[in-house]
Chains A and B, each alone.
Chain A
Amino acid sequence: MSGRDTVLRAVRKALTDVPRFENPGGPRPPHGHPTDHTGPDIVQLFSERTAEYRATVVRVPAARAAAAVGDALARTGARALVVPPGLPADVIPEGPWTLLDDTLPLTPGQLDAADAVLTTSAAAIAVTGTVILDHGPGQGRRALTLLPDQHICLVREDQIAPDVPEALSRLDPYRPLTLVSGPSATSDIELDRVEGVHGPRTLDIIVVAAT
């Protein structure tokens, strides 16, 4: 007998007390929030909550987006910037940095040697201060936002969902998804939070006003 048959048979044998007419699909508890955890200004809330994780957050009008990216790169002194396919050209600033285009996939070694990566995002969550990547155009495959030590992420104001349930409902579950809440961190030593382990140690969020 295969492992599959053994496990399934054991599961069914364990559940003989469950009435056969009981519907496996329901009754389902309602989804969504009975109460809202946000205040009147969810963009402000998102900015505050993200900053609490020691991410750097700025709010700019669309015309200032490229300049804000330039400021973030200048602050860390980044020299090599990874740009994913599909990133709008008008958010990439002029400056003393080399652009590494991932249209022909870069090797892990090249990504590891790069200083920063610039991406857009798929959605964001105000209450938890989270940005969500679905790794579509402008965001790049998952390795791009993992190996360089600085991640600069553009979030449009209208992409910010108030809370977790609303944000999840906007996503396509068949895409790979990464929820990012602040730079990488650990609490493994004496449960004391330390920012910066394996993922990017610097996270810059640029909130772009809706045009």
Chain B
Amino acid sequence: MSDRDNVVWLGTPAFPEAARAALADTRLRANLRRATATIRDKRLAVTAELDDWEELRERAAAVKRHTLRHLDHHLLRLEEAVTAAGGTVHWAADAAEANAIVTRLVQATGESEVVKVKSMATQEIGLNEALADAGIRAYETDLAELIVQLGGDRPSHILVPAIHRGRSEIREIFLREMGDWGRPAPDGLGDDPRDLAEAARLHLREKFLRCKVAVSGANFAAADTGTVVVVESEGNGRMCLTLPDTLITVMGIEKVLPAFADLDVFLQLLPRSSTGERMNPYTSLWTGVTEGDGPQDFHLVLLDNGRTATLADEVGRQALSCIRCSACLNVCPVYERTGGHAYGSVYPGPIGAVLTPQLVGVENTASLPFASTLCGACYDACPVKINIPEVLVHLRAEAVEAKRRSRLLPTAEALAMKAAGWVMSSPKGLAAAHRLAALGARLVARDGLIGSLPGPPARWTGTRDTPAPAQESLRAWWRRTKAVNETQGRTTAEEEGRR
């Protein structure tokens, strides 16, 4: 993990603390509630249209899992096909290497500005900052990325990075910032999304026509033909992929598919899961370079940056199947309330909670695997059937283990768990603990509930009311009533229950 890496934003508080601040922001919560509810309904409507939706998910999951098991094989095929079609393939082990490659390629063109298609991979490696250090200006052209860039903000959603912003905030940002970056916002700009989209169109058009270099990500790449795919809505992607002379695509190594024909499932699953449309407005596919059409210089940068570490974990590996649709964010009750910034990573939400710790090491993001209720809505929504709850539980165990290894003395929680284990392994110990708990509870409970307690238990009781333990434990009650029943010659409670 380098300090320029955006997989985790250094200096961001751990999830519980960040979530507390986010929950207090009522405007944020209103924006998120409205947006996620809209997209959830749309997704359900279009996925219900396909009666073989479950089979499509199964097939997509099977293709992804199998491809990951032979990733080296498919990457080499992809390299060969892209090269044969006139492209150049580069390999980057980490963010610093990828940034250096892209910077060098831009410098070789003699240009000092690039237009960018929205890309998680370049967000992840902090490419814009690295280019800025080399005196190269990178213009984000996706509307939401533009809002984030102009606002000096961070993305809070994989698909709609400015989901935390309402229309009036976006209007303010455009009026305040557009002039510093190029064509200013029109006078009298309103907050109708139509007017805001028009302002972005005018602001970016001159950049599309001027810039000679573009940087993109990739949604898929077919190893048999070398075809690279970008799925988008606005046409900014087509502008960047078509008008410049040089195109540099940064792609995570897990995006490779064995064959062009595999796109048939993914082009059905992605738009329906992502924006809740039968098909997104524009999908661009290109294979190397085409004479007389589009960029004549094409570079594909294959990025590891923690992916092979994730691949090595047989349980966690499935997270690399992710196609970045963001359906799991939109259905997550935790994400809907905290928003994306609380996760402290470019990958927020349920998929972020399993991906981020694996990319950077669970010891660096120990709170993220716990940022979930394990309700399983994400698993149900995932078009490639990533069992997110399973990976979360697996990573929780690793987080506890990592904490244990890093300390000389055990934590209070570890001691409490150890004590609980000891007590529960002995009937006498358990009975004694029950009596003690009943006695203790009488001292602190009010109206049968234990409220907030001082000291270390406050971390649990501060947010929860706990019913006071019964004065008599089940075991004690059983012994007492059974003894009474037997002396009175009646049936035992156990037989009573059987009738």
A residues lining the B interface (CB < 8 Å): 2-4, 6-8, 10-15, 17-18, 22, 24-25, 27, 29, 31-35, 37, 49, 53, 105, 108-109, 112, 125, 127-130, 135, 141-143, 146, 163-165, 168-169, 173-192, 194, 196-200
Contacts and interface: CB of A to CB of B under 8 A. Distances in A.
Given A7-B253, A142-B241, 6 more contacts: A11-B75, A31-B264, A142-B294, A176-B294, A181-B278, A198-B205
B160 interface: yes
B379 to A, nearest CB: 20
Interface string B254-288: 00001011011001100100010111111111110
Contact of A24 (B74, B91, B285): B74
Interface in B187-237: 193-194, 196-198, 200-201, 204-205, 208-209, 222, 225, 227, 233-236
20 contacts: A8-B75, A15-B71, A22-B70, A35-B51, A125-B279, A128-B278, A141-B294, A146-B238, A146-B239, A174-B287, A176-B284, A176-B290, A186-B193, A186-B233, A187-B275, A189-B170, A190-B31, A191-B160, A194-B197, A196-B198
Interface stretch (B301-309, B389-397, B416-424, B467-475): B301-309
B302 A188 contact: no
Nearest to B210: A108
Contacts of A199: 234-235, 238, 281-282
B49 interface: yes
Contact of A14 (B167, B201, B308): B308
A29 to B, nearest CB: 4
Given A24-B73, A33-B52, A194 B194 contact: yes
Given A7-B302, A35-B52, A181-B277, A112 B209 contact: yes
Contacts of B239: 146, 198
Q: DSSP class of A's interface residues: helix, strand, loop or mixed?
A: loop
B456 interface: no
A175 B290 contact: yes
Interface in B436-472: none
A66 B239 CA distance: 29
Contact of A168 (B52, B194, B263, B311): B263
Contacts of B284: 142, 176-179
Interface stretch (B10-18, B33-41, B333-341, B478-486): B33-41
Contacts of A22: 69-70
Contacts of B278: 49, 127-129, 181
Given A10-B93, A109-B209, A146 B280 contact: no
B160 A10 contact: no
Contacts of A25: 258
A108 B63 CA distance: 40
A189 B51 CA distance: 31
A189 B199 CA distance: 13
B499 to A, nearest CB: 50
B147 interface: yes
B282 A178 contact: yes
B33 to A, nearest CB: 11
B158 to A, nearest CB: 13
Contacts of B309: 10, 14
Contacts of B222: 173
Interface of B: 31, 34-36, 38-39, 49-52, 55, 58-59, 62-63, 66, 69-76, 85, 90-93, 97, 101, 141-144, 147, 160, 162-163, 166-167, 170, 193-194, 196-198, 200-201, 204-205, 208-209, 222, 225, 227, 233-236, 238-239, 241-243, 253, 258, 260-261, 263-264, 267-268, 271, 275, 277-287, 290, 292-294, 302, 304, 308-309, 311-312, 314
B235 A189 contact: no
Given A173-B227, A190-B31, A146 B235 contact: yes
A15 B282 contact: no
Nearest to A112: B209
A171 B328 CA distance: 32
B30 to A, nearest CB: 10
A197 B142 CA distance: 10
B193 A190 contact: yes
A55 to B, nearest CB: 10
A141 B293 contact: yes
Contacts of A200: 235
Contacts of A174: 85, 225, 287
Given A194-B194, A197-B201, A6 B91 contact: yes
B69 A15 contact: yes
Contact of B197 (A29, A129, A178, A196): A196
A25 B89 CA distance: 22
B209 A29 contact: no
Contacts of A135: 290, 293
Contacts of A192: 38, 193
Nearest to A27: B66
B302 A180 contact: no
Given A13-B308, A13-B312, A128-B279, A197 B236 contact: yes
Contact of A143 (B243, B290, B302): B243
A190 B72 contact: no
Contact of B234 (A35, A141, A163, A184): A184
B264 A184 contact: no
B44 to A, nearest CB: 14
A24 B66 CA distance: 8
Contact of B72 (A12, A143, A180, A194): A12
Contacts of B55: 34
Given A3-B93, A173-B287, A105 B292 contact: yes
Contacts of B277: 181
Contacts of B264: 31-32, 164-165, 168-169
Q: Which 7 A-B pairs have the closest CB atoms?
A: A199-B235, A24-B70, A198-B235, A10-B308, A14-B312, A128-B279, A165-B264
